[in-house]
């Protein structure tokens, strides 16, 4: 099993099973568990602390609450992993979809922070959750869209040097790059970098909300998240401030209304997109285009 496979398995280990295997008592509340001692809510491989306004998945949980290094957390979780799908089937899908990861994320951190203006703490948060990494061969930003069992189903690559961007063949559009919070609002973008730029501009309690980057102007990823997470009632369309974005907003609004979603709003960037707004705010001069 490759290092990437080990990481994937570790990061979708059931946290409640891990804790109970260590003799820690949890309180079951519906489909979630409460670790009352730390005031942490747990559901499958996801955890969230309302008190600290932070959350993540299995690896970050073990690192934070058990003082393990990244490598120690991956190793320990793989020793006790309880997963919801056959590992062999999904290993093949992982191999085909995701490029090999680099040993660090230094280049994408520098690119996203210095060239795109995205806050380093936001970059690191998505890296820690296993939703963003640096590929080994070309040092691209790799934005990972994961399914409900935390397996990668969508891969979008963005060069740190040129304007190259590509969605990997075999990606399922329903699972494009996204983050699901605990609140009732989802913000919708065309590109992953615009999504991270928006979060940078609106950091307060950002983990409470949900976000999806369509990696296109198709609404399929948004519809999937709404159907999968029925607590989300409010949709805020944050597409590009151009003709293509305006046309997509009209189309998506009509689709949502037909499906019974009535709370649909728009939030437009001042310039073409959210990352351009952020670059101008930060005083960054670059010829890089789009998310």
| pLDDT tens digits, one per residue of 34-46 | 898 888 889 888 8
The whole-number pLDDT of residue 81 equals: 56
| Between 188 and 89, the higher pLDDT residue | 188
CA atoms within 13 A on the CB side of 77: 29
CATH number, domain 3-84, options 3.40.50.970, 3.90.580.10, 3.90.1300.10, 3.40.50.720: 3.90.580.10
pLDDT band at 4 (very low <50, low <70, confident <90, very high): low
For residue 119, is pLDDT > 80? yes
The whole-number pLDDT of residue 90 equals: 46
The CA-atom distances, in angstroms, between 71 and each of 6, 47, 74, 116, 142 are: 10, 19, 5, 30, 21
Residue 216 CB coordination number (10 Å): 15
Q: Can you state the angle between helices 3-11 and 70-79, rounded to 10 degrees?
A: 70
The two tokens of residue 83 are 């997963």
Residue 183: which region, alpha, beta or left (left: phi > 0; alpha: psi -120 to 50)? beta
The whole-number pLDDT of residue 32 equals: 80
Q: One fold for both 3-84 and 99-282?
A: no
Determine phi and psi for 42, rounding to 5 degrees: -130, 135
pLDDT band at 47 (very low <50, low <70, confident <90, very high): confident
Tens-digit pLDDT profile for residues 190-242: 999 999 999 999 999 999 999 999 997 789 999 999 998 888 999 999 999 99
As a CATH number, domain 99-282 is 3.40.1360.10
Tens-digit pLDDT profile for residues 249-276: 999 999 999 999 999 999 999 999 999 9
The whole-number pLDDT of residue 114 equals: 95
Minimum mean pLDDT range among 67-81, 96-110, 273-287: 67-81
For residue 91, is pLDDT > 50? no
The whole-number pLDDT of residue 72 equals: 86
Residue ranges covered by each domain of the chain:
3-84, 99-282
The whole-number pLDDT of residue 80 equals: 67
């Amino acid at each position: 099993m490759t290092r990437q496979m080990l990481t994937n398995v570790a990061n979708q280990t059931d946290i409640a099973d891990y804790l109970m295997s260590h003799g820690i008592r949890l309180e079951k509340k519906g489909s979630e568990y409460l670790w009352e001692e730390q005031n942490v809510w747990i559901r499958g491989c996801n955890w969230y602390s309302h008190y600290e306004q932070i959350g993540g998945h299995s690896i970050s949980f073990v690192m934070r609450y058990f003082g393990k290094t990244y490598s120690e957390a991956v190793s320990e979780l793989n020793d006790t992993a309880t997963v919801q799908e056959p590992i062999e089937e999904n290993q093949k899908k992982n191999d085909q979809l995701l490029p090999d990861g680099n040993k660090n994320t230094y280049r994408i951190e520098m690119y996203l922070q210095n060239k795109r203006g995205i806050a380093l703490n936001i970059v690191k948060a998505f890296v820690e959750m296993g939703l963003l990494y640096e590929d080994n061969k070309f040092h691209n930003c790799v934005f990972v869209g994961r399914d409900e069992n935390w397996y990668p189903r969508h891969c979008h690559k963005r060069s740190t040097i040129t304007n190259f961007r590509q969605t990997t063949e075999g990606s399922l559009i329903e699972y494009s790059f996204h983050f699901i919070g605990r609140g009732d609002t989802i913000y919708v973008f065309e590109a992953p970098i615009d999504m991270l730029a928006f979060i940078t501009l609106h950091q307060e309690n950002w983990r409470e909300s949900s976000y999806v980057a369509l990696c296109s102007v198709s609404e399929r990823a948004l519809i999937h998240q709404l159907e999968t997470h029925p607590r989300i009632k409010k949709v805020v369309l944050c597409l590009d401030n151009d003709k293509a974005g305006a046309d997509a907003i009209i189309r998506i609004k009509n689709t949502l209304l037909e499906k019974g979603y009535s709370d649909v709003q728009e939030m437009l960037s001042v310039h073409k997109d959210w990352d351009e707004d952020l670059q101008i705010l930060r005083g960054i001069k670059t010829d890089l285009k789009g998310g």
